[in-house]
């Protein structure tokens, strides 16, 4: 069940920070690391968790590994949200923004 991997991956603040940084542009693990006080193995482990959650995907480039946001994970969260759309009308401030941004 991928939902479990997804929410567990996002439950850690360090992992959310990594994801957020990656959202500003694809980069390799070392580039991700500088600016953050985190060891190399820790970063590698976090990226592995994000990868199995489909929040991030990798692309080998020589001896570097380029990481980027995997839209799949975000789509899965959106899909999870749709299950509870019955409760949206009661509080749509954020959802209106979401709606506006989706317009062609």
Partner DNA sequence: TCGACAGATAAGCGTATACTTATCTGATTC
Partner DNA sequence: GAATCAGATAAGTATACGCTTATCTGTCGA
Residue ranges that bind DNA, judged by CB under 7 A: 8, 11-12, 14-15, 28-31, 38-49, 58, 62-65
Smallest gap from Cβ 52 to its own copies, in A, equals 14
Left (φ > 0), alpha (ψ -120 to 50) or beta: where does 60 sit?
beta
Q: Is 64 in the site for its own copies (CB under 8 A)?
A: no
Q: Round to whole Å and give the CA distance between 52 and 26.
A: 18
42 interacts with, out of DNA, its own copies, none, CB within 5 to 8 A per kind: DNA
26 interacts with, out of its own copies, DNA, none, CB within 5 to 8 A per kind: none
Enumerate the H helices of the chain as residue ranges.
2-10, 13-23, 29-33, 40-52, 71-82, 93-102
Contacts of 95 (CB under 8 A, 6+ apart): 88
Interface residues with its own copies (CB under 8 A)? 1, 3-4, 7-8, 10-11, 13, 16, 20, 23, 69, 71-72, 74-79, 81-88, 90-95, 97-99, 101-103
């Amino acid at each position: 069940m991928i939902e479990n991997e997804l929410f567990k991956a996002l439950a850690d603040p360090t992992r959310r920070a990594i994801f957020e940084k990656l959202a500003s542009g694809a980069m390799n693990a070392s580039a991700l690391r500088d600016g953050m006080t985190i060891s190399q193995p820790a970063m590698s482990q976090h990226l592995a968790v994000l990868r199995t959650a489909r929040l991030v995907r990798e692309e080998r480039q020589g001896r570097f590994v380029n990481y980027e946001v995997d839209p799949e994970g975000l789509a899965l969260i959106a899909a999870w949200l749709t299950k509870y759309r019955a409760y949206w009308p009661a509080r749509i401030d954020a959802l209106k923004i979401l709606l506006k941004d989706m317009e062609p």
